[in-house]
A = this chain, B = another copy of it.
Amino acid sequence: MHRECRAKVFAGMKAAGVTSGVALLKGGDPSFRHDTDHEHLFRQESHFFYLFGINEPSLFGLLDFATTLTHVFIPRLDTDYEVWCGKVSPPREYAEKYGVDCVHFVDELAYVVAATSGGRQIVEIDAHSLLKDVSGLVTNKSILYNVLVSSRTIKTPLELSLLRHVNALASEAHKHVMQKIKPGMYEFQLESLFLAHISYEGGCRYSAYTCICGCGPNGAVLHYGHAGAPNSALIQEGDMCLLDMGAEYHCYASDITCSYPATGRFTPAQRGIYNTVLSALVSVREAIKQGVEWVDMHLLAERRIIEGLVAENIILARGKTVDELMDLELGPLFFPHGLGHLMGMDTHDVGGYPSHRSRHTRPGLSSLRMNRPLEAGMVLTNEPGCYFIEALLRPAFEDPVKGPHLNRELIEKEYMKFGGVRLEEDLIVTVEGCENMTDVPRTVEEVEAWMALGRN
């Protein structure tokens, strides 16, 4: 798979006119907790892993554009390392295991760079201290960066297989949690069940991001679950629960959100908001195909959410059309984040903003992590949501434009502690449509039936 990725990058560089010189990339270094010897579990830097596929610290990699040969540089480790950290593989074993052409020691780096680089050099990193004996280096970071980003934005078939695998794994883990949840548990126990499932069943030592397990009002906190809000609440009988959790395998991510009532049975209010978001989810999924503008997809989702909230009597149309209500920026009040983002080795993957595109300033659109037309082979999240966020609603009630269109009495009485609903799936864009990699119960009926199974 990584050989294929390298081939794409070599081809991209050739297309950019680069047929000589080298690119030198530095892998990640070990990291520690503050000033202690507590070493974090290492995870390779994504560009480096994409090209070389090795999840070990303190490596260098080199692409030789004249010959399209690939070199990797490993630390020269001693007996002491072997005693503490295990058998040191000789360069030959690295070359075989990872399918790269040549493996050297890091202390041979300057020599190899001097020997391989022609008149033109592209040195990706600040390796001057290692290369002080190599004269005449000309560096240009941007060519390689742009080629790498373009290459990573469109996934290869093997990358798609891997993404399907980690999505299936995370889907199963979500379904597992869905059957175990009950009022009286703590939110962190949902996180624990998810992480246990992906690690035990799938060997995932990393999650794709910190689990968001927001139950009841906490569901309205978009990035709940961080250290200051550590999934620590007790789950209550009437809670709507929003669980945004993803697995990472071989440095590829999945990013899935399910929302459901703690009891396994929707109340009418929960059903109304849920179906509003589901309608946005399905509409976007059905509209996605190559060539579609992502901003238009966001606006489509916003439209569905406004329609749903009008139907639920939460937004008061007062004679206005949905277009007019959208113009009043009522959508971002309930759906303040972006519809989704590219996904791959990073959960929020590279490539969302090509150099000629910039961010919109309108609320909602300004949160988008992507502004570009879709292309076949892109992988992205589709994640509309609807939330009742006091910090947004209270000022809006007083707003002379928005206020009259909000059913303040109903919201205060029924929804202020509702939290939120987000439904998130991971899609592969195709020429004619998309493929949904996420396989979890989605309709109210499917969710209730699946949760009931866990209660028998």
Chain A residues close to B by CB (< 8 Å): 28, 31, 33-46, 55-57, 79, 82-87, 186, 188-189, 191-193, 195-196, 199-200, 203, 205, 209-210, 218, 221-224, 226-232, 336, 346-348, 389, 391-392
* Cα–Cα, bound, A200→B176 (Å): 14
* Cα–Cα, bound, A57→B34 (Å): 12
Query: Please, which residue of chain B has its CB at the minimum distance from the CB of A253?
Result: B38
A112 to chain B, nearest CB (A): 22
Interface of A is mostly: loop
Q: Are A392 and B221 in contact (CB under 8 A)?
A: no
A87 to chain B, nearest CB (A): 8
Which residues of chain B are within 8 angstroms of A36 by Cβ–Cβ distance? 46, 346, 348
Ranked 3 nearest A-B pairs via Cβ: A196-B196, A42-B227, A192-B199
Known: A57-B227, A348-B36. A83 touches B43 (CB 8 A): no
A267 to chain B, nearest CB (A): 24
Which residues of chain B are within 8 angstroms of A86 by Cβ–Cβ distance? 218, 221, 224, 228-229
- Across the interface, A188 reaches (CB within 8 A) one of B37, B205, B221, B227, namely B205
Residue of A41, A83, A222, A223 ringed by the most chain B CB atoms within 10 A: A83
* Cα–Cα, bound, A347→B38 (Å): 8
Which residues of chain B are within 8 angstroms of A188 by Cβ–Cβ distance? 199, 203, 205
Q: Can you list 11 A-B pairs, Cβ within 8 angstroms, ordered by A?
A: A31-B31, A34-B46, A37-B346, A38-B346, A55-B227, A82-B389, A83-B222, A85-B229, A188-B199, A196-B200, A205-B231
Residue of A44, A57, A192, A210 ringed by the most chain B CB atoms within 10 A: A192
A27 to chain B, nearest CB (A): 10
A208 to chain B, nearest CB (A): 8
Which residues of chain B are within 8 angstroms of A391 by Cβ–Cβ distance? 79, 82-83
